[in-house]
Amino acid sequence: MASALLALGLLHESRGQIPAARAALAAALRVFPAFIAARAAAARLMVADAASDAELSEAEAALLQAVEVAEALAAAEGGLVAASNKACAREVEAGVGARGALAMLLCQAGRGAEAKTHLKELGFSWRLGSPVLCYPISGGGSSSPAGRGEAAGGRGEACGQLPLAVLDGALPSPLLRQLQRAFAPAAPFWSEHGYGPRQGYFSYMFPLAGDQAADSSLGQLARHLRSLALPHFPAVAEARYAEWWAHCRRHNSGHQLHFDSDDEGVGGIRNPIISTVCYLSSSRSTDSGGSSGSRGSRTGTTDGDGSSSEGGAFVGGPTLVTDQLLGGPLATRGWLATPAVNRVTFFDGGVLHGVVPGRGASSDPFARRCTLMVAFWRELRTRLPADGQLGAAMPMPAPRLREPCAATSKGGKRPREDPQQRAEPPAAAAADAAAGDEAAEAQKAGEAAWISMLEPLPGEGAWLAQVAPTPVTPTPVAAVWEPVDPGRAGRAPSYSACFQGF
């Protein structure tokens, strides 16, 4: 029974049904209080949903308990119990996962000495540096008048020394508002693509010249971003294609360090000229239909569609950009770009980068970190995935094609809606009205609702002329990687042997 309840809890978690997942895991622990896997899973959810330091402390205690029970089980009868029983072996393995989560929690709390014991038990001698995982929460970068001379890129074709540039107030208000509506947590984009833990990476692409770029506000965005990037990354002038994807994630949900590559590196690594991150909003979403939940404070303000207006606060961690290249030594330098509404980060497409999980309790457990990424390519091949599937570099549909996207066409049915992406009633009911009307009209016409929300905006020249982005100096990181035990550091290992924690 306890195992069945654990499986149910994990299923709810994969669907974004967090309250239901917590209830199932609590039931599993009532049936079997020493259930390591259930306790570890429940603790992970507590970390994800923590709205206070007290709740984080409770999660830490649960993780530590799971680790201690797993240690005792692993040592029972000299290890014979775990070695001879598959169920016990799975429990010991769950304890290993709990130890990793506990080490991450301690690292982000600035308690590296306590984390060291757990990291050594896990076999790590190096880890992401304290300035990365325990980043300054108040540090958002500072405005810099230097602008042009402070960013580098294009793998040697840059104007300065850094592989990134950060601009505030980068998008004109009409374009920002439209993108906020189209990619708000309750927007149809997420449900129509089945977005969530079970959906792999997918992206769309279009040539920068021609009808496809003109048929969508994303084409307008790509042209604008390229013009902003040119002073910092002159090689972007050679770009012929744009590829875009989006994310909507919880405060503590990071993105493991990686290199952007065509088709995720299948058939060989090819990097874009540059990649960009547009921080759109930090908007609210419920975890399951029904309860609005009043925990935490609302982050940002809304424009009547569940999206944050310019100037709202952001949840989630910073973007980390390093000087590490594929096949090269570990990074010696790094920079943190803290998310803020209408901020854009540009970086060299060949460097290692990722998203650090938000540390500490969330200012609003219901808020989501909504971002839109655009990469610029000299060459990029369109890919058509199998019917009903999603993949990298799919052709960008036009708003007027009146055709559902691949994810909605399988079997003629729309995919299950992810409750995590629904806005909470009643506060966000009015907020969804504008987007909902657009979606309903699109569905009547047989068009994917998400693309109908991205029609090109009129008056492009006028609103572009009003944009005056402000350069922001990213926060430098003195040590991207550091030894777990400085007294016994040894030679830096390969990237895959270093602890990231996410």
Per-residue model confidence as pLDDT tens digits over 401-440: 434 444 443 333 333 333 333 333 333 333 344 445 555 5
pLDDT of residue 198: 80
CATH of 2-127, one of 3.30.2130.10, 1.10.10.10, 3.40.50.12280, 1.25.40.10: 1.25.40.10
Angle at 298 between CA 293 and CA 300, to 5 degrees: 155
Q: What is the per-residue pLDDT across 176-196, written as a single tens digit (0 to 9) for each?
A: 999 999 999 999 999 999 998
Tell me the average pLDDT across 270-274.
Answer: 95
Under the banding of pLDDT at 50, 70 and 90, the label for residue 461 is confident
The answer to which of 128-132, 303-307, 350-354 has the lowest mean pLDDT is 303-307
- Its CATH architecture, for the domain 151-295+305-475, is Sandwich (2.60)
Q: Does 282 score more than 80 pLDDT?
A: no
DSSP alpha helix (H) spans, 145-216: 173-182, 188-192, 211-214
Q: Does 316 score more than 90 pLDDT?
A: yes
pLDDT of residue 120: 95
Nearest-angstrom CA–CA distance, 321 and 7: 37
Determine the number of helices (DSSP H) and then strands (DSSP E) in the chain. Answer: 16, 16
Angle at 222 between CA 322 and CA 379, to 5 degrees: 75
Q: Does 393 score more than 90 pLDDT?
A: yes
Helix (H) or strand (E) run with residue 280 in it: strand 274-284
How distant, in Å, are the alpha carbons of 4, 90, 269, 301, 502 from that of 326?
A: 43, 35, 9, 40, 20
SS3 track for 55-94: HHHHHHHHHHHHHHHHHHHHHHHHHHHHHHCHHHHHHHHH
Nearest-angstrom CA–CA distance, 182 and 436: 11
Angle at 65 between CA 62 and CA 69, to 5 degrees: 145
Q: Does 66 score more than 70 pLDDT?
A: yes
Domain residues of the chain, as ranges? Answer: 2-127, 151-295+305-475
Cβ-proximal residues to 412 (8 Å cutoff; 6+ apart), any chain: none
pLDDT of residue 447: 63
Mean pLDDT of the chain: 83
β-pairing, 274-284 vs 481-483, is unpaired
Under the banding of pLDDT at 50, 70 and 90, the label for residue 495 is confident
Strand arrangement, sheet containing 334-337: 255-258, 351-355, 319-325, 334-337, 475-477
CA nearest neighbour of 172 among 230, 224, 218, 244: 224
pLDDT of residue 478: 87
Q: What is the per-residue pLDDT across 182-237, written as a single tens digit (0 to 9) for each?
A: 999 999 999 999 998 888 899 999 999 977 667 899 999 999 999 999 999 999 99
Please give the single-letter amino acid code of residue 278.
C
